[in-house]
Amino acid sequence: MRIAPKSKLVMIGDSITDVERARPIGEGLFGALGKGYVAYVDGLLASAYPAHRIRVVNVGTSGNTVRDLKARWQTDVLDLKPDWLSIMIGINDVWRQFDSPLRTEIHVGLDEYQRTLEELVAATKPSLKGLVLMTPFYIETNRQDAMRAQMDRYGAAVGAVAKKHGAILVDMQAAYDRVLAHGHSAGLAWDRVHPTHVGHMLMARAFLDGIGYEWRGE
């Protein structure tokens, strides 16, 4: 596994990362890591690699776009001094274009999205031991659907940033597409965005595969 023992892993994003995590920092007992993939990642790391003592921190915030991440980057990333950082952002950047089409001031266009994400990555990567970028996703099989097609474009932007800066890329859309080949999206998310526990476990597995997790542990 690529994450070294005693590393601090900070995971930042929107509601898909948040999932009722503790404030101001999602870390500790009693559900502090939230009810989603971050908690599953922590549980799987701690149970399979107990000697590694990897510290997982959740700083996802519901409703966030990449603009919001930039505004809180100092306090929620840099000040926490992570060894490893995981970023998954973009769903709201796309969604607001479709559920709030007239509120153009809150829309984050593709160019701004990629430029801001790259700015954050470039400023932070030199201080990290590892960086994971996860693509946004839309749980929809029809790739011609307008929101799915737009989400794929934003996912491609994440891929471009990851390639440029040597980050680990986790294609979360591809992970969902694999499962969607065997069932309807309603079984994974009522709104095709906020996943069930199955979707969150899928995400945890995709993340762990990306960092070279050995499922048999140590």
List the catalytic residue out of 7, 15, 86, 185.
15
Residue pair 26/9 in contact (Cβ under 8 Å)? The answer is no
Domain ranges of the chain: 8-210
Query: Does residue 191 carry a catalytic annotation?
Result: yes
Catalytic one among 100, 127, 191, 197? 191
15 noted as active-site residue: yes
Closest residue by Cα to residue 2 from 196, 186, 209? 209
Could you tell me where the beta strands, DSSP code E, fall in the chain? 8-13, 55-58, 84-88, 130-134, 168-170
Question: Which of 104, 132, 108, 137 is CA-nearest to residue 211?
Answer: 132
Query: Which residues 6+ apart lie within 8 Å of 66 measured at CB?
Result: 89, 90, 93, 108, 112, 113, 116, 117, 120
Residue 51 exposure: Cα atoms within 13 Å on the Cβ side: 3
DSSP string, 68-119: HHHHHHHHHTGGG--SEEEEE--HHHHHHHHHSTT-GGG---HHHHHHHHHH
Token code pair at residue 88: 């998954």
Residues 152, 198 contacting (CB under 8 angstroms): no
Domain 8-210 matching CATH 3.40.50.1110: the answer reads: yes
Spatial distance between the Cα atoms of 10 and 131, rounded to a whole number of angstroms: 10
The pLDDT score that the predictor gives to residue 217 is 60
Contact 120, 67 (CB under 8 A): no
Query: What is the pTM for the complete model shown?
Result: 0.95
Q: How confident is the model at residue 216, as a pLDDT?
A: 74
What pLDDT tens digit does each residue of the chain (218 aa) get? 999 999 999 999 999 999 999 999 999 999 999 999 999 999 999 999 999 999 999 999 999 999 999 999 999 999 999 999 999 999 999 999 999 999 999 999 999 999 999 999 999 999 999 999 999 999 999 999 999 999 999 999 999 999 999 999 999 999 999 999 999 999 999 999 999 999 999 999 999 999 999 987 65
Predicted pLDDT of residue 58: 98
pLDDT in the model for residue 189: 94
Q: Is 127 a catalytic residue?
A: no
